[in-house]
Amino acid sequence: MGPLYDAVGVGMWAYSNAAFRVVALGPRRFRLEPGTLIVSTHRRETDVPVIGPLLYFGGRLWRHRDERMSFAARDDMFLPGFFAGFPPDLSPRARRLLFPIGVRRFLPRVQVHPISSASVARAGELLRSRSDSPLEDVVPVALADEFRSRSADRGLPIPQRSGDALRGEYADLLWLPVTREEVPGLDGFWGARAATAAADFRRLVELVRAGGSLLVFPEGRPSPDGEIGPLRRGLAALVRRARPRWFLPVAPAYDPLRRGRTRVVVSVGPRVEPPAEDVEAATLELLRRATPLTCGQYVAHELLSSRDPDADGLEHAVDDARLEQRPVDPELLDSTQRRIRLVEAIAAAEHRPGELPALAREYASARDLG
């Protein structure tokens, strides 16, 4: 496990620093104390390679191997064809080539553990479980029609049985979520899935109770609109049963309103004792207060509120954040640099209007402005 874990840590560092300008707020060196539950906001799918190296190098996990953190991950990472089905913008050819590739056997070696849902599965899981059944008996009728429409568009044999649809040309369709309510008749499948979800949860509980550190994203998925929260059900049960000794809050904030690579400001810590009650509400408040203030957030919020962002307003936003002991992008702490960033962000907003709603919502959500 050691060399592969180290290689992944270094690889994530290389990727994140090539793709982004990463700035860490918090102690440069720290120890991951036994039984630490690392709770992080979930902004983008790139959060893990951004956050992971900061914890790996900050905690000197290449040296303190018995303190290495584990990761709670979406269970579809363990399915064959993940790299073909999950990314949203792949070409058909790329999906076909990547479909045979899976990483399931490597994930436990880098301490990645799945979290399953008892009531939601990927379409491909359902089809594999009933490969000889008629397609429309296993997935919703509308989805079966999509498979057949795709086959007609690309000159493929029309899938009749479920197993006919298990090919790379349909990888994105195979990754669509299907709920138990949509196909309630597959009792054996859903019963087995409930058992798997329970076993996954027990494994995480046992890991933390034994003194391991675990990184979780309580929101469950990247925020679709910039809102911080809501949190998925299950965090309170994990805290109650696993009894972590510490919470370590982590919060990345992406700021694309600038020239060049997106800047990512990541706050790490300080550690706190786990909430004794109202775990979800207390954790959500903790994550909101851990979210760094960025220039892009302020500019987006002002523009979408039909106001002109200005230097005085940005200074007030910085002062408010510091009074509330909330992290701030270091670029905004110097008045000259702050003015430069403001001009840059306003100019970038004209060319990237699609980024504004999520940034504005993140700004408001961090302050619970409704």
Rounded percentage of the chain residues whose pLDDT exceeds 70: 99
Average pLDDT, the chain: 93
Residue 83 has pLDDT above 90, yes or no: no
- The mean pLDDT of 160-167, rounded to a whole number, is 94
- Helices H, strands E: what count in the chain? 15, 9
Residue 151 has pLDDT above 90, yes or no: yes
Three-class DSSP labels, 116-177 = CCCCEEEHHHHHHHCCCCEHHHHCCHHHHHHHHHHHHHCCCCCCCEHHHHCCHHHHHHHCCE
CB of 58 closer than 8 Å to CB of 24: yes
Q: Structural domain tally of the chain? A: 2
Q: Specify the pLDDT at position 62.
A: 87
- The mean pLDDT of 133-145, rounded to a whole number, is 93
Question: If you ran DSSP here, which 8-state letter would residue 232 be given?
Answer: P
Q: Give yes or no: residues 313 and 238 share one domain.
A: no
Q: Note whether residue 138 is domain-resident.
A: no
**pTM score:** 0.91
| Domain coverage including residue 107 | 2-116+184-278
Chain-centroid distance of CA 151 in Å reads: 32
Q: Give yes or no: residues 290 and 274 share one domain.
A: no
- Structure-token match 């996990």, residue found: 61
Least confident segment among 79-88, 116-125, 201-210, 285-294: 79-88
> Which of left, alpha, beta for 253 (phi over 0: left; psi -120 to 50: alpha)?
beta
Q: Specify the pLDDT at position 369.
A: 66
The CATH number of residue 96's host domain is: 3.40.1130
Q: Note whether residue 293 is domain-resident.
A: yes
Please write the tens of the pLDDT for every residue from 218-261. 999 999 999 999 998 889 999 999 999 999 999 999 999 999 99
Confidence of residue 2 (pLDDT cuts 50, 70, 90): confident
Residue 101 has pLDDT above 90, yes or no: no
Q: Note whether residue 121 is domain-resident.
A: no
Q: Give yes or no: residues 272 and 299 share one domain.
A: no
